Amino acid sequence: MFKADLRKPEIKQRGIALISVLLVVAILVAITTRMLEGHNLVVHHHRATFEQNQALQYAYGAEALARQVLFADHQNSDPKIDHLAEPWSRQLPPFELDDIGFMEAQMRDLNGCFNLNALASNDEVVLKRSLKRLKRMLRELQIDEALADNVRDWVDSDSKVQGFGAEDNNYLGKYPAYRSANRKISHLSELYLLDIAEGEQVKKLLPFVCLLPFADNKINVNTAQALTLATLDDGISLGSAEAITMSDRAYNSVTDFVRDHPEFAAVADDLSVSSNHFALHVQAVVGEGAATVYSHLARNESDGRVIVLQRDFAKLFRSSLTIDAAMEAE
């Protein structure tokens, strides 16, 4: 007699149930994995943000310390004399931050370089003298001297083209179109907007120029670079200027400097032995976070109080130690 196997439907149902359970488990595992990945991404993002903020706070701390050093320099030494042997000028190697990163800071005297905003002077004598000096600098660097006329037209208040300069008509034909600033330069990146400026030429010029909020261009002979000194007058050679910068300079007065270097007598009124504008460049790295801060510090000549005139968070940090090492390798 034929007997039906009643267990087969039960086995099929068990198989279907098992497959269903496995599918549910697979879906749950996929969801959990995705959630964990999202969680890890959020954790990593928060950690990176925290480390970035921590690095920025370290950079701000270095800025506060630099302000204190400049104030102490004014209070504890002759405020009318600044030179490269003072604490503010010392090059410190990168140092560790509690085993979580490192920081490096460099200070530069802005009264020892050529102030491009001197070309915005309303004094015709100062303007012509500054224009000649910038052209000498460009000539030494093998850069087209017309760039000086471009700078002059960029900062003057009129729309009249001077020499080989450029005004609105030149810039409105570019894409995208823009106008000349007709005011003092506020950031050195504006040089890349000039009519004949080329990237490599601007890079060659940047180490020797700076921006001060006024048209004065007195040079601190105790801190100026050789090229800056050499461009003050046609009678000053680059060789003699280099000899000066290679010596220990700590002149107490311009009179003392001119006595030792009479070739500077004709430009004595444009010299000084003190500085009140400084550039601080800080790089801090904490874990995967990094912060670079460039600060323009201005010191009050009378009471030594130091304020921050400008901060730049996008400027490339170039360690002088790295540069020196590269030069030695060459």
pLDDT of residue 324: 42
**How many other CB atoms are found less than 10 A from the CB of residue 271?**
21
Which pLDDT score is estimated for 10? 62
**Tokens linked to 288:** 């995967």
pLDDT in tens, 258-288: 999 999 999 999 999 999 999 999 999 998 8
Q: How many CA atoms lie within 13 A of 296 on its CB side?
A: 15
Position 29 scores a pLDDT of 78
- Can you list the pairs that 17-26 forms with residues at least 24 positions away whose Cβ atoms lie under 8 Å? none
* Per-residue pLDDT reduced to its tens digit, 147-175: 999 999 999 988 888 889 889 888 998 88
Domain 1-118+208-330 coded CATH 1.10.12.10:
no
Q: Extract the residue ranges of the chain whose pLDDT is less than 70.
A: 1-15, 39-40, 42-43, 45, 315-330
Cross-strand partners of 280 = 107, 295
With CA atoms as reference, report the closest residue to 179 among 188, 170, 190, 192: 170
Rg for the chain (alpha carbons), in Å? 31
pTM exceeds 0.75, yes or no:
yes
Phi, psi of 214 (to 5 degrees): -140, 170
CA distances (Å), origin 275, targets 111, 186, 323: 6, 20, 25
Task: Determine the pLDDT at residue 326.
Answer: 36
Q: Are 211 and 143 in contact (CB under 8 A)?
A: no
